[in-house]
Amino acid sequence: MNVMIFTCSPNIDGLTAACGNAAKIGAEEAGAKVVMVNLNRQRIGRCLACSNGWGTCREEHVCQVKDDFQELHASIANIDAFVMITPVYWGEMSESAKAFSDRIRRCEALKKDQSFFEGKPVISVAAAGGSGNGLTTCLTSMERFLTHVKAEKFDFIGITQKNRVYKLHAIQEAARAIGGLSPRKGE
């Protein structure tokens, strides 16, 4: 299995990064090949809602805004499973997670052929502060994204600074589970 792990925090040694490390260990323990992508290190701007709301994303399934998005989008075709980890900001995904998911949703959701995510397992992780305020609304927005791109919702994990010890273990185990699956038929 090729597993792509997105981390979406500017903090390289915070909770999001710890979740990414746990997922990487789990997926690799299962024999998966792991690609780590820190979306905060990518130059991916927001969707410009080109023309009157749709650009080339609607019919050609490519984004006409030229930045690091294009290469990352193309590379996703060869991935079998995903782990998406965002810090909870204002009860939502972080800005880098939002910018990327907004743009890839537009390109993938309306494909007549299979979307790059279709039927592929995704683990969604929302990493919150001590309060956990907005953790569920963040996971809900991730769930809506996965519905639009027709992914398989493998797990939704909320983690806070207070429960991190056992939740990091859960993330490692979840990643081990998807890492040990067989790639989708026809791939």
Q: Where on the chain is the footprint of ligand FMN (CB under 6 A)?
A: 9, 11, 14-17, 87-91, 127-129, 131-134
How many angstroms separate the CA atoms of 12 and 126, rounded?
16
Residues 6+ apart with CB under 8 A from 89: 95
Q: Which is nearer to ligand FMN, 55 or 87 (CB)?
A: 87
Residue 169 has φ and ψ, to the nearest 5°, of -65, -40
- Enumerate the β-bridge partners of residue 153: 122
Among 111, 117, 112, 107, residue whose Cα is nearest residue 149: 117
Question: At closest approach, how far in Å is the CB of 20 from ligand FMN?
Answer: 9
Q: How far is the CB of 82 from ligand FMN (least distance, A)?
A: 18
Q: Minimum distance from CB of 19 to ligand FMN (Å)? A: 8
For ligand FMN, give the closer residue by CB, 34 or 127.
Answer: 127
Nearer to ligand FMN, 53 or 166 (CB): 166
CA dist 71 to 40, 54, 67, Å? 15, 21, 9
Q: How far apart are CB 132 and ligand FMN at their closest, in Å?
A: 5
Residue nearer to ligand FMN on the CB measure, 11 or 64: 11
Task: Dihedral sign for Cα 150, 98, 155, 172, please.
Answer: positive
Tokens, residue 175? 């990643």
Q: Which is nearer to ligand FMN, 85 or 149 (CB)?
A: 85
- Residue 64 neighbours by CB distance under 10 Å: 12
Identity at 36, one-letter amino acid code? M
Q: How many whole angstroms separate alpha carbon 33 and alpha carbon 51? A: 39
Closest residue to ligand FMN, Cβ-based? 14
Rounded least distance, CB 15 to ligand FMN, Å: 4
CB closer to ligand FMN out of 1 and 93: 93
Q: How far is the CB of 167 from ligand FMN (least distance, A)?
A: 12
